[in-house]
Amino acid sequence: MVKSVDLSVDIGPKLKLKNPVMNASGTFAYGEEFARFMDLGCLGAVVTKGLSLEPKCGNPTPRVAEAPSGMLNAIGLENVGLERFLEEKLPFLKRYDVPVIVNFFGASETEYARMAGRLDQTVVDALEMNVSCPNVKKGGIQFGRDPYTLASLVKVVRGQTSKPLIVKLSPLTSDIAEMARAAEEYGADALTCINTIPAMAVDEETLRPVLGNITGGLSGPAIKPVALKMVWETARAVKIPVIAAGGIACARDAVQFFLAGARACQIGTQALVEPFCFDPVIAGIEDYLKHHGFERLTDIVGALKV
Protein backbone atom coordinates (compact mmCIF):
# COMPACT_ATOMS: atom_id res chain seq x y z
CA MET A 1 0.00 0.00 0.00
CA VAL A 2 1.26 3.48 -0.89
CA LYS A 3 1.98 5.58 2.24
CA SER A 4 1.20 9.01 0.82
CA VAL A 5 -0.56 10.34 -2.26
CA ASP A 6 -0.74 13.62 -4.13
CA LEU A 7 -4.33 14.84 -4.41
CA SER A 8 -3.50 18.10 -6.20
CA VAL A 9 -4.87 18.83 -9.67
CA ASP A 10 -4.52 21.60 -12.22
CA ILE A 11 -7.74 23.06 -13.60
CA GLY A 12 -6.40 24.99 -16.54
CA PRO A 13 -3.09 26.85 -16.67
CA LYS A 14 -3.73 29.21 -13.74
CA LEU A 15 -5.80 27.26 -11.22
CA LYS A 16 -4.20 24.63 -9.00
CA LEU A 17 -6.28 22.80 -6.38
CA LYS A 18 -4.75 21.03 -3.36
CA ASN A 19 -7.44 18.37 -3.72
CA PRO A 20 -10.15 17.69 -6.33
CA VAL A 21 -13.23 18.25 -4.15
CA MET A 22 -15.30 21.42 -4.23
CA ASN A 23 -18.91 22.34 -3.58
CA ALA A 24 -21.43 22.78 -6.38
CA SER A 25 -22.87 26.19 -7.09
CA GLY A 26 -26.33 26.84 -5.69
CA THR A 27 -26.14 24.49 -2.70
CA PHE A 28 -23.53 26.32 -0.64
CA ALA A 29 -24.83 29.92 -0.69
CA TYR A 30 -21.72 32.11 -0.26
CA GLY A 31 -19.86 29.84 2.16
CA GLU A 32 -20.76 31.63 5.39
CA GLU A 33 -23.45 29.16 6.38
CA PHE A 34 -21.27 26.08 5.86
CA ALA A 35 -18.36 27.69 7.70
CA ARG A 36 -20.28 26.94 10.91
CA PHE A 37 -19.99 23.21 10.19
CA MET A 38 -16.63 22.85 8.49
CA ASP A 39 -13.31 24.44 7.65
CA LEU A 40 -13.76 25.88 4.17
CA GLY A 41 -10.01 25.59 3.78
CA CYS A 42 -10.30 21.81 3.47
CA LEU A 43 -11.86 22.15 0.02
CA GLY A 44 -10.02 22.23 -3.26
CA ALA A 45 -12.06 25.34 -4.13
CA VAL A 46 -15.24 27.13 -3.07
CA VAL A 47 -17.84 27.79 -5.77
CA THR A 48 -20.30 30.60 -5.10
CA LYS A 49 -24.02 30.69 -5.66
CA GLY A 50 -24.79 31.98 -9.16
CA LEU A 51 -24.41 35.75 -9.52
CA SER A 52 -26.02 38.27 -11.84
CA LEU A 53 -25.33 41.95 -12.40
CA GLU A 54 -28.38 43.01 -10.41
CA PRO A 55 -30.02 41.28 -7.40
CA LYS A 56 -32.55 38.62 -8.35
CA CYS A 57 -35.56 37.58 -6.27
CA GLY A 58 -36.08 34.12 -7.70
CA ASN A 59 -39.24 32.05 -8.11
CA PRO A 60 -42.40 31.81 -5.97
CA THR A 61 -42.54 29.27 -3.15
CA PRO A 62 -42.54 26.32 -2.64
CA ARG A 63 -39.12 26.17 -4.26
CA VAL A 64 -37.75 22.79 -3.17
CA ALA A 65 -39.21 19.31 -3.00
CA GLU A 66 -37.97 15.80 -2.35
CA ALA A 67 -37.74 13.35 -5.22
CA PRO A 68 -36.84 9.66 -5.32
CA SER A 69 -33.06 9.56 -4.73
CA GLY A 70 -32.75 13.31 -5.10
CA MET A 71 -34.43 16.68 -4.90
CA LEU A 72 -36.12 19.26 -7.05
CA ASN A 73 -35.31 22.94 -6.81
CA ALA A 74 -36.84 25.96 -8.46
CA ILE A 75 -34.95 28.67 -6.61
CA GLY A 76 -34.77 30.72 -9.78
CA LEU A 77 -31.14 31.84 -9.36
CA GLU A 78 -31.98 34.20 -6.49
CA ASN A 79 -28.86 36.14 -5.50
CA VAL A 80 -27.63 39.37 -3.92
CA GLY A 81 -26.18 40.82 -7.12
CA LEU A 82 -22.58 41.42 -8.09
CA GLU A 83 -21.82 44.59 -6.15
CA ARG A 84 -23.21 43.36 -2.84
CA PHE A 85 -21.32 40.09 -3.29
CA LEU A 86 -18.06 41.96 -3.79
CA GLU A 87 -18.68 44.19 -0.77
CA GLU A 88 -20.14 41.70 1.72
CA LYS A 89 -19.48 38.11 0.68
CA LEU A 90 -16.11 37.96 -1.05
CA PRO A 91 -14.09 39.43 1.88
CA PHE A 92 -15.36 36.59 4.08
CA LEU A 93 -14.36 33.91 1.57
CA LYS A 94 -10.89 35.37 1.12
CA ARG A 95 -10.13 34.72 4.79
CA TYR A 96 -9.59 31.10 3.86
CA ASP A 97 -6.69 29.52 2.03
CA VAL A 98 -8.85 28.23 -0.78
CA PRO A 99 -9.48 29.41 -4.36
CA VAL A 100 -12.81 31.18 -4.90
CA ILE A 101 -14.66 30.36 -8.11
CA VAL A 102 -17.57 32.66 -8.93
CA ASN A 103 -20.49 31.13 -10.79
CA PHE A 104 -22.25 33.75 -12.92
CA PHE A 105 -24.98 34.12 -15.53
CA GLY A 106 -26.86 36.63 -17.66
CA ALA A 107 -29.77 36.99 -20.04
CA SER A 108 -27.68 38.22 -22.98
CA GLU A 109 -24.12 38.16 -24.24
CA THR A 110 -23.78 41.75 -23.09
CA GLU A 111 -24.71 40.88 -19.51
CA TYR A 112 -22.31 37.92 -19.46
CA ALA A 113 -19.52 40.12 -20.83
CA ARG A 114 -20.12 42.85 -18.26
CA MET A 115 -20.06 40.30 -15.45
CA ALA A 116 -16.81 38.76 -16.68
CA GLY A 117 -15.17 42.13 -17.16
CA ARG A 118 -16.12 43.28 -13.68
CA LEU A 119 -15.04 40.02 -12.02
CA ASP A 120 -11.74 40.18 -13.89
CA GLN A 121 -10.85 43.22 -11.81
CA THR A 122 -11.41 41.44 -8.48
CA VAL A 123 -9.48 38.96 -6.32
CA VAL A 124 -11.62 35.95 -7.30
CA ASP A 125 -9.55 33.07 -8.63
CA ALA A 126 -11.72 31.77 -11.48
CA LEU A 127 -15.09 32.17 -13.18
CA GLU A 128 -17.67 29.43 -13.76
CA MET A 129 -20.16 30.42 -16.44
CA ASN A 130 -23.68 28.98 -16.17
CA VAL A 131 -24.96 28.60 -19.73
CA SER A 132 -28.27 26.93 -18.79
CA CYS A 133 -29.99 30.30 -19.10
CA PRO A 134 -32.36 31.60 -21.80
CA ASN A 135 -30.95 34.05 -24.32
CA VAL A 136 -33.65 36.73 -24.31
CA LYS A 137 -32.39 38.22 -27.57
CA LYS A 138 -32.63 34.93 -29.47
CA GLY A 139 -36.11 33.70 -28.66
CA GLY A 140 -35.31 32.27 -25.22
CA ILE A 141 -33.13 29.36 -26.38
CA GLN A 142 -30.63 28.32 -23.73
CA PHE A 143 -27.05 29.37 -24.42
CA GLY A 144 -25.99 25.81 -23.64
CA ARG A 145 -28.28 24.04 -26.13
CA ASP A 146 -26.83 25.26 -29.43
CA PRO A 147 -23.10 25.02 -30.24
CA TYR A 148 -23.05 28.20 -32.30
CA THR A 149 -24.79 30.22 -29.58
CA LEU A 150 -22.42 28.77 -26.98
CA ALA A 151 -19.34 29.42 -29.10
CA SER A 152 -20.34 33.04 -29.60
CA LEU A 153 -20.91 33.53 -25.88
CA VAL A 154 -17.63 31.93 -24.83
CA LYS A 155 -15.72 34.02 -27.37
CA VAL A 156 -17.27 37.25 -26.08
CA VAL A 157 -16.66 36.40 -22.42
CA ARG A 158 -13.12 35.18 -23.09
CA GLY A 159 -12.34 38.62 -24.46
CA GLN A 160 -13.31 40.21 -21.15
CA THR A 161 -11.23 38.20 -18.70
CA SER A 162 -7.80 36.66 -18.29
CA LYS A 163 -8.93 34.60 -15.30
CA PRO A 164 -9.55 30.86 -15.67
CA LEU A 165 -12.89 30.42 -17.43
CA ILE A 166 -14.95 27.31 -16.64
CA VAL A 167 -18.10 26.65 -18.66
CA LYS A 168 -20.82 24.70 -16.83
CA LEU A 169 -22.53 22.62 -19.49
CA SER A 170 -26.24 21.92 -19.72
CA PRO A 171 -27.50 18.34 -20.06
CA LEU A 172 -30.21 19.58 -22.44
CA THR A 173 -28.41 18.73 -25.65
CA SER A 174 -28.38 15.80 -28.00
CA ASP A 175 -24.57 15.90 -28.23
CA ILE A 176 -22.70 17.20 -25.19
CA ALA A 177 -19.38 16.43 -26.86
CA GLU A 178 -20.21 18.94 -29.59
CA MET A 179 -21.00 21.58 -26.96
CA ALA A 180 -17.78 20.78 -25.12
CA ARG A 181 -15.68 21.17 -28.26
CA ALA A 182 -17.34 24.50 -29.06
CA ALA A 183 -16.55 25.84 -25.59
CA GLU A 184 -12.96 24.60 -25.77
CA GLU A 185 -12.34 26.05 -29.24
CA TYR A 186 -13.47 29.53 -28.26
CA GLY A 187 -11.56 29.88 -25.01
CA ALA A 188 -12.86 27.78 -22.11
CA ASP A 189 -10.11 26.61 -19.76
CA ALA A 190 -12.25 23.86 -18.21
CA LEU A 191 -15.77 22.44 -18.24
CA THR A 192 -18.20 21.53 -15.45
CA CYS A 193 -20.49 18.69 -16.39
CA ILE A 194 -23.48 18.73 -15.70
CA ASN A 195 -26.19 21.10 -14.51
CA THR A 196 -29.56 19.91 -13.13
CA ILE A 197 -32.13 18.10 -15.28
CA PRO A 198 -35.58 19.69 -15.75
CA ALA A 199 -38.29 17.79 -13.86
CA MET A 200 -41.50 18.23 -11.89
CA ALA A 201 -43.57 16.80 -9.03
CA VAL A 202 -47.36 16.62 -8.62
CA ASP A 203 -49.48 16.55 -5.46
CA GLU A 204 -52.32 14.15 -6.18
CA GLU A 205 -54.34 15.39 -3.18
CA THR A 206 -54.43 19.05 -4.18
CA LEU A 207 -54.26 18.30 -7.92
CA ARG A 208 -51.51 20.89 -8.18
CA PRO A 209 -47.78 20.95 -8.94
CA VAL A 210 -45.62 20.72 -5.82
CA LEU A 211 -43.35 23.58 -6.89
CA GLY A 212 -44.57 27.14 -7.18
CA ASN A 213 -42.75 27.41 -10.50
CA ILE A 214 -44.40 24.13 -11.67
CA THR A 215 -41.06 22.69 -12.87
CA GLY A 216 -37.58 22.71 -11.41
CA GLY A 217 -34.18 21.08 -11.62
CA LEU A 218 -33.56 17.50 -10.52
CA SER A 219 -30.30 16.83 -8.68
CA GLY A 220 -28.82 14.21 -6.38
CA PRO A 221 -28.09 10.49 -6.81
CA ALA A 222 -30.98 10.15 -9.26
CA ILE A 223 -28.99 11.92 -11.99
CA LYS A 224 -25.61 10.33 -11.31
CA PRO A 225 -25.77 7.75 -14.17
CA VAL A 226 -26.68 10.53 -16.63
CA ALA A 227 -23.89 12.78 -15.37
CA LEU A 228 -21.38 9.92 -15.46
CA LYS A 229 -22.14 9.21 -19.11
CA MET A 230 -21.92 12.88 -20.04
CA VAL A 231 -18.64 13.37 -18.19
CA TRP A 232 -17.19 10.36 -20.02
CA GLU A 233 -18.36 11.69 -23.40
CA THR A 234 -17.07 15.19 -22.62
CA ALA A 235 -13.66 14.05 -21.38
CA ARG A 236 -13.14 12.01 -24.57
CA ALA A 237 -14.03 15.00 -26.74
CA VAL A 238 -11.74 17.69 -25.30
CA LYS A 239 -8.24 18.20 -23.94
CA ILE A 240 -9.17 20.73 -21.24
CA PRO A 241 -10.02 19.57 -17.69
CA VAL A 242 -13.51 18.33 -16.86
CA ILE A 243 -15.12 18.90 -13.46
CA ALA A 244 -17.81 16.37 -12.57
CA ALA A 245 -21.12 17.38 -11.00
CA GLY A 246 -24.29 15.37 -10.56
CA GLY A 247 -25.16 12.93 -7.81
CA ILE A 248 -21.78 12.69 -6.10
CA ALA A 249 -22.40 11.69 -2.48
CA CYS A 250 -19.31 9.75 -1.39
CA ALA A 251 -15.71 8.97 -2.27
CA ARG A 252 -16.75 5.97 -4.34
CA ASP A 253 -18.91 8.21 -6.55
CA ALA A 254 -16.07 10.68 -6.98
CA VAL A 255 -13.59 7.96 -7.96
CA GLN A 256 -15.98 6.65 -10.62
CA PHE A 257 -16.13 10.11 -12.20
CA PHE A 258 -12.32 10.39 -12.11
CA LEU A 259 -12.04 7.05 -13.90
CA ALA A 260 -14.48 8.36 -16.50
CA GLY A 261 -12.20 11.32 -17.15
CA ALA A 262 -13.05 14.07 -14.63
CA ARG A 263 -10.13 15.81 -12.95
CA ALA A 264 -12.17 17.29 -10.09
CA CYS A 265 -15.68 17.02 -8.70
CA GLN A 266 -18.41 19.11 -7.13
CA ILE A 267 -20.73 17.99 -4.34
CA GLY A 268 -24.14 19.66 -4.23
CA THR A 269 -27.30 17.96 -2.97
CA GLN A 270 -25.41 15.67 -0.59
CA ALA A 271 -24.06 18.72 1.24
CA LEU A 272 -27.64 19.75 2.04
CA VAL A 273 -28.30 16.30 3.49
CA GLU A 274 -24.94 15.96 5.22
CA PRO A 275 -23.05 19.25 5.66
CA PHE A 276 -20.05 17.36 7.06
CA CYS A 277 -19.64 15.19 3.96
CA PHE A 278 -16.64 16.94 2.39
CA ASP A 279 -13.91 15.71 4.75
CA PRO A 280 -14.98 12.04 4.48
CA VAL A 281 -15.09 12.27 0.69
CA ILE A 282 -11.57 13.74 0.52
CA ALA A 283 -10.27 11.13 2.98
CA GLY A 284 -12.03 8.35 1.08
CA ILE A 285 -10.44 9.34 -2.21
CA GLU A 286 -7.03 9.30 -0.55
CA ASP A 287 -7.72 5.87 0.97
CA TYR A 288 -8.77 4.49 -2.41
CA LEU A 289 -5.56 5.69 -4.05
CA LYS A 290 -3.39 4.26 -1.29
CA HIS A 291 -5.18 0.92 -1.27
CA HIS A 292 -4.85 0.50 -5.04
CA GLY A 293 -1.21 1.59 -5.19
CA PHE A 294 -1.64 4.97 -6.92
CA GLU A 295 0.68 7.82 -5.92
CA ARG A 296 -1.28 10.66 -7.54
CA LEU A 297 -4.90 11.40 -8.18
CA THR A 298 -4.03 12.12 -11.80
CA ASP A 299 -3.01 8.46 -12.19
CA ILE A 300 -6.68 7.43 -12.28
CA VAL A 301 -8.08 10.28 -14.36
CA GLY A 302 -9.50 8.71 -17.51
CA ALA A 303 -8.23 5.25 -16.53
CA LEU A 304 -11.56 3.54 -17.27
CA LYS A 305 -11.01 0.36 -19.27
CA VAL A 306 -13.42 0.27 -22.22
Which pLDDT value is given to residue 1? 74
Q: Decide if 304 is inside a domain.
A: no
Which pLDDT value is given to residue 169? 96
Q: Decide if 68 is inside a domain.
A: no
Q: Decide if 64 is inside a domain.
A: no
The average pLDDT across 107-120 equals 97
Query: Which DSSP string do the residues of 150-175 spell out, in sequence order?
Result: HHHHHHHHHTT--S-EEEE--S-SS-
What does each C-alpha distance from 213 to 75, 84, 135, 145, 194 come to in angstroms?
A: 9, 26, 19, 22, 22
Q: Decide if 126 is inside a domain.
A: yes
Q: Which of 114, 101, 100, 94 is nearest to 52 (CA)?
A: 114
The average pLDDT across 255-280 equals 97
Query: Which DSSP string do the residues of 194-239 spell out, in sequence order?
Result: ---EEEE-EETTTTEESSTTSEEEEESGGGHHHHHHHHHHHHHH-S
Q: Distance between CA 226 and CA 27 in Å, rounded? A: 20
Residue 103 lies in domain: 9-57+76-204+216-299
Lowest mean pLDDT among 134-138, 146-150, 262-266: 134-138
Which pLDDT value is given to residue 49? 95
Which pLDDT value is given to residue 100? 98
Q: Tell me, what CATH number does 284's domain have?
A: 3.20.20.70
The average pLDDT across 8-15 equals 95
**In total, how many domains does the chain have?**
1
Q: Distance between CA 162 and CA 177 in Å, rounded? A: 25
Q: Decide if 210 is inside a domain.
A: no
With bands split at pLDDT 50, 70 and 90, how would you rate the model's confidence at 258? very high
Which pLDDT value is given to residue 196? 95
Which pLDDT value is given to residue 138? 66
Percentage of residues in the chain having pLDDT higher than 70: 97
The average pLDDT across 76-84 equals 96
Q: Decide if 165 is inside a domain.
A: yes
Tens of pLDDT, residue by residue over 138-195, are 665 689 999 999 999 999 999 999 999 999 999 999 999 999 999 999 999 999 999 9
Tens of pLDDT, residue by residue over 26-69, are 999 999 999 998 999 999 999 999 999 999 999 999 999 999 99
Q: Is the pLDDT assigned to residue 75 strictly greater than 90?
A: yes
Which pLDDT value is given to residue 134? 66
Q: Distance between CA 165 and CA 116 in Å, rounded? A: 9
Q: Which of 16, 28, 21, 40 is nearest to 92 (CA)?
A: 40
Q: Which of 246, 193, 190 is nearest to 15 (CA)?
A: 190
pTM higher than 0.95 for the full model?
Answer: yes
Residue 215 and residue 198 in contact, taking contact as beta carbons nearer than 8 Å:
yes
The average pLDDT across 217-241 equals 98
Q: Is the pLDDT assigned to residue 74 strictly greater than 80?
A: yes
Instruction: Catalogue the active-site residues.
Output: 133
Q: Decide if 290 is inside a domain.
A: yes
Q: Is the pLDDT assigned to residue 136 strictly greater than 80?
A: no
